[in-house]
Structure 1
Amino acid sequence: MYITREDVAAAVSRAELVQLSNDEGYGEPDWQIVDRAIAYACELADGYLMGRYALPLETAPSILRHLCTDIARHWLHQRRINAAEFPKPLQAAYDNAVKLLVQIRDGKIHLGIRAAAAATEKPQPEGGAYHVRGKAKQDWSGY
């Protein structure tokens, strides 16, 4: 997991977290719902990082924590709010998070850790020039 309950709790107010996670709308946040949002955000991030980095990442870079927090917030709000009434800043943060994950996947943004292929490949020795011999060309123009 790239984020914790504390990361999500720091991103939203306690009252908002209660409203988004607790179906009764009062009391304490439903941490099982928050955990589902965290799992969704981390699995989505892993889906984008899968081909580029060896998973699971030992330490989560700070950019990845911010992206997963935005995705988890979006997931929590999506439980409650109609798509037509969705807050524009929240939707923009989610869209930006997915856009950045795509750029990380495509290699345009690097997380500062070794890529999966680089971690498993052994360095190849430098080879010399290759000389290839073959039979002379055949003349098939008469057919």
Structure 2
Amino acid sequence: MAYATLQDLITRYGEQRLIEMTDRFDPPAEVIDEGVVAKALQDASDRIDGYVRVVYALPLTETPAMLRGLAEDIAFFLLYEEPTDEARKRYTEAVATLRDISAGRVKLPIAQGAESPSRPAVVHVTSQPRRFSRQSMGGL
């Protein structure tokens, strides 16, 4: 599940900035490379899922604005070949927030019933009695 879109990144960071970060053509095409952005957004969503699935059942029925912002910050960081201090700071804060979500210190503003059970399910198995044992195979 993608938590943010190309349009979200354009709205937050500006089209020209994204062109500068993603246009890796020679000569420059002066357009956003949507494939590069899609990869960064998917990687960001995968990282978010890794933290969120500890507490919430995935896929979420709605995308909270908080997760959209975190996805934008993570994708923004991933788009850099050499991240700036600003991008690194946003990424670090995003990961810290995800850790808080995973630990239950921060709750997502989503509908009730979306949280995963806090303990894993228990599986009970019943089987037939052993047919072969040391005693039954003693003379073989």
1:16 aligns with 2:17: yes
- Deviates further, 9-18 or 31-40: 9-18
AA matched with 1:12: Y
**Superposition TM-score, scaled by structure 2 size:** 0.75
In the alignment, which of 30, 33, 46 is matched to residue 30 of structure 1? 33
**Which residue of 1 is the match for residue 92 of structure 2?**
95
Count how many residue pairs are aligned between Structure 1 and Structure 2.
113
**Which residue of 1 is the match for residue 115 of structure 2?**
115
The separation in 1 between residues aligned to 2:24 and 2:60, in whole angstroms, is: 33
Q: Which runs of 5+ in 2 are unaligned?
A: 122-140
**Which residue of 1 is the match for residue 63 of structure 2?**
60
Q: CA RMSD in A?
A: 1.6
Deviations 1:38-78 (A, max 9, x none): 0000000000011211101111111111001000000001x
**Superposition TM-score, scaled by structure 1 size:** 0.74
**Does the 8 Å CA contact 1:41/1:72 hold for their aligned counterparts?**
yes
**Does the 8 Å CA contact 1:52/1:117 hold for their aligned counterparts?**
yes
